[in-house]
Structure 1
């Protein structure tokens, strides 16, 4: 029998030294460690920028900010409630009737059937939320929720330490960079849809993602190339 990755995840998070890698890489590593310890396909970290707006700052899969965009656009979604209400929000089946209609529709379009969002809080300060996504219906058990809450307690300490080391200005720069990435990807999707009337937003994203994987370059770079070609 293999070793349980869950205690190892707590240890791994507690060993993170924020000065060893850039801020975005640190946050991505936190997301990767938590994803590996839970029945999640991928994860995304939502933080709040200086204007009070949610931003998916770090993620383990490009689908994460795509799905999150739906809840930011409608101001309704599980990670927003996890952040605002400071408790875990679990969606057992994104295809079933329930709240967060736009978010759930986006999740289903990307093959996600259940989600778990847990708040990132430090010293009673709401920092954001960590969002976990699964391709399976009802993937997250009560034990998974409890573990996720334990993991984000440590993750929040890492985030506070990273913010203290790198400074509030650097964190805001990272948040603004994440917003810029989303903007250029949305622009590229619009260009692709204008070129091919059979493409909707999800299909256009699939084109970008396939090109990114095929050429082994960042999805943002592919998007920037498409935007530049139109100039």
Structure 2
């Protein structure tokens, strides 16, 4: 496609990413999961950068177990472009992710790096790409990928705005990650406490059934777990279920 003069589109407009920080804070509060936040982030970036005649597609790629994964996108086009790049294992967005620096491809027709991907992206109607990594301070690795159907689809002002936006987004995403970690830790603790309670109840039941001390009852329970190749908590739950009459499972185990 022909070059697109974005400066005229912005001449009478304010910064499209103004108040993004407030929006991102609201997203942190209302997002139910990391995936939800990233999906909203991709849509927000595409919406704020797009102008009449130059619709921008946005995606987010993260590195999981050393493998890139397209986790969120503003639309199917962005998702497909991210997936294609991940399939080739190289491209401007992955380069930005690995180098932790902004990568700008003003015109794919003039680009000689990443030839297989550039050719595939051009066939999808893409003419320029902007990739900006999110600094997550070691919490994870992610990159915001922006695609335009025009050559020179991103002005220097756009690049500066997107870099400022990703800085804000990275701060919000770090907070989302920490909240998720705390939530996971809380859930793990709750599960562990529940497991401990069930096991303690089962030990007490075996003590009463076999007229033995606590140590012996616990050995009976662990032996049943090992023999049956079933988790200790599940054996304990089976003991309690048999006592409550929910299931007909024998609560007596030989030591």
- TM tier, smaller: 0.5 to 0.7
Taking the aligned partners of 2:178 and 2:19, their CA distance within structure 1 comes to 26
Once the two structures are superposed, residues 174-203 of structure 1 have per-residue CA deviations (whole angstroms, 9 ceiling, x without a partner) of xxxxxxxxxxxxxxxxxxxxxxxxxxxxxx
| Structure 1 unaligned spans of 5+ | 171-231
Size of the aligned set, in residue pairs, is 169
Q: Which runs of 5+ in 2 are unaligned?
A: 1-11, 185-255
Asked if the contact 2:60–2:71 (Cα under 8 Å) also holds between the matched residues in 1, the reply is: yes
TM-score (norm 1): 0.65
Separation in 1, partners of 2:182, 2:62: 13
Deviations 1:135-187 (A, max 9, x none): 111111122111111111111122222222223998xxxxxxxxxxxxxxxxx
Is 1:66 the equivalent of 2:80? Answer: yes
Query: Within 5 A, what are the aligned runs for 1:1-231?
Result: 1=12, 3-39=14-50, 41-49=56-64, 51-123=65-137, 127-167=141-181
Q: 2-side partners of 1:76 and 1:141: how far apart?
A: 24
> Greater RCO between the two (CA within 8 Å, min separation 6)?
1
In the TM superposition, what is the alpha-carbon distance from 1:18 to its structure 2 partner?
A: 4.2
Q: Using the alignment, how far apart are the partners of 2:104 and 2:165 within structure 1?
A: 16
Offset of residue 34 of structure 1:
1.6
Change (3 A) 1:136 1:18: same
Question: Does structure 1 conserve the Cα–Cα contact (< 8 Å) formed by 2:34 and 2:180?
Answer: yes
State how far apart, in whole Å, the 2-side matches of 1:114 and 1:98 are: 13
CA root-mean-square deviation: 2.3
Q: Deviations over 1:67-112 (max 9, x none)?
A: 2233222321111111111111011112224111122122112111
How big is the shift at 1:35? Answer: 1.6
Paired with 1:126 and 1:20, the residues of 2 have a C-alpha distance of 18
SS in 2 for 1:129: strand
Large movers: runs of 4+ above 6 Å: none
Q: Secondary structure at the match of 2:110?
A: coil
| Structure 1 pair 95–145 and aligned structure 2 pair: CA distance change class (3 A) | same
Residue 188 of structure 1 corresponds to none
Q: What TM-score does the superposition give when structure 2 sets the normalisation length?
A: 0.60
Q: Deviations over 1:3-48 (max 9, x none)?
A: 5422133432243324543332211111122222224521000011
